[in-house]
């Protein structure tokens, strides 16, 4: 497992941390593989009752590392990013997100697969897929509507605009806003309370609340197909070139 994914045990609670603070915890293929491995191990370990996901430093995650992503694009379901998605979407035990700062792209969409989410008041969220000539991922084209309604889901996923922690709280994407120095302690307190519950009943309740996982997995697969097609597009080449040149992309020549 890469050291850019850090795990810590505290009794029945496993904390999984994106540990690349100097890059705002931007996620590489190796990090996705490490996170997937950690979740699979936690699923199989009967002594793990609850998982907390957080980030190092002052960021949750800035989303995909675009340079690494361009060099290691996901090509099929065996790609590390899809292994991570499958491991989290299918995780049967409670997962709590402790959002300690910026949450871009998958940093926001993974919250749709967590059971609780706490955030610091200055956290920022965004779903910039279309702005990068890509499409929604991790089932967000299906699941986001459950939180915010169809019209707002359309706005967020099609505009890619950043929104603040209070808005995320109003949407129900996060459960509470917590001061930075209290965030991890608050997440652990929630985790300890859940860890004390009867585990099989808690897993069953989670499964019932989540609903048909097959529908979620089908949407993730459908998104991945279009996502892969967009990875080959001239639009994406323009978006990536503009990002690295620190200029606004020009999509005026596309139809």
Strands (E), the chain: 5-10, 13-18, 50-55, 59-61, 95-99, 102-104, 116-119, 124-126, 163-164, 176-177
d(CA 230, CA 235): 8
Residue 1 has pLDDT above 80, yes or no: no
Using pLDDT thresholds of 50, 70 and 90, give the confidence band for residue 2: low
Residue 246 has pLDDT above 60, yes or no: yes
Q: Are 117 and 173 in contact (CB under 8 A)?
A: yes
Q: Looking at residues 146-162, what average pLDDT do you find?
A: 96
Q: How many CA atoms lie within 13 A of 133 on its CB side?
A: 24
**Which CATH code is given to the segment(s) 1-179+199-255?**
3.90.226.10
Q: Are 183 and 118 in contact (CB under 8 A)?
A: yes
Residue 85 has pLDDT above 90, yes or no: yes
Q: How far is CA 161 from the centre of its chain?
A: 17
Model confidence, pTM: 0.94
Q: Which of 76-85, 99-108, 110-119, 152-161 has the lowest mean pLDDT?
A: 76-85
- Cα-flanking dihedrals φ and ψ of residue 231, to 5°? -60, -25
- pLDDT tens-digit map of 183-228: 999 999 999 999 999 999 999 999 999 999 999 999 999 999 999 8
Q: How far is CA 164 from the centre of its chain?
A: 16
Percentage of residues in the chain having pLDDT higher than 70: 99
The burial class, CB within 10 Å (0-12 / 13-18 / 19+), for 172 is exposed
Q: Where are the domains of the chain?
A: 1-179+199-255
């Amino acid at each position: 497992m890469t050291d850019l994914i850090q795990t810590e045990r505290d009794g029945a609670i496993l904390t999984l941390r994106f540990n690349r603070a100097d890059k705002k915890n931007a996620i590489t293929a190796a990090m996705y593989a490490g996170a997937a491995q950690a979740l699979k191990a936690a699923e199989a370990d009967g002594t793990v009752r609850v998982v907390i996901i957080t980030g190092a430093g002052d960021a949750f995650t800035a989303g995909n590392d675009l340079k690494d992503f361009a060099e290691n694009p996901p090509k099929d379901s065996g790609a590390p990013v899809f292994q991570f998605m499958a491991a989290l979407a299918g995780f049967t035990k409670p997962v709590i997100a402790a959002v300690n700062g910026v949450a871009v792209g998958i940093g926001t969409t993974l919250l749709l697969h967590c059971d609780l989410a706490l955030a610091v008041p200055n956290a920022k969220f965004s779903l910039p897929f279309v702005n990068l000539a890509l499409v929604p991922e991790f089932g967000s084209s299906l699941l986001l509507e459950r939180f915010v309604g169809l019209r707002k889901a359309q706005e967020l996923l099609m505009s890619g605009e950043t929104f603040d922690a209070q808005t995320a709280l109003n949407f129900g994407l996060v459960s509470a806003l917590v001061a930075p120095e209290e965030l991890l302690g608050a997440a652990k307190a929630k985790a300890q309370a859940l860890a004390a519950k009867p585990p099989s009943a808690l897993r069953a309740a989670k499964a019932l609340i989540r609903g048909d996982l097959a529908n979620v997995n089908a949407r993730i697969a459908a998104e991945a197909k279009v996502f892969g097609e967009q990875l080959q597009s001239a639009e994406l080449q323009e978006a990536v070139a503009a990002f690295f040149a620190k200029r606004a992309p020009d999509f005026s020549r596309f139809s």
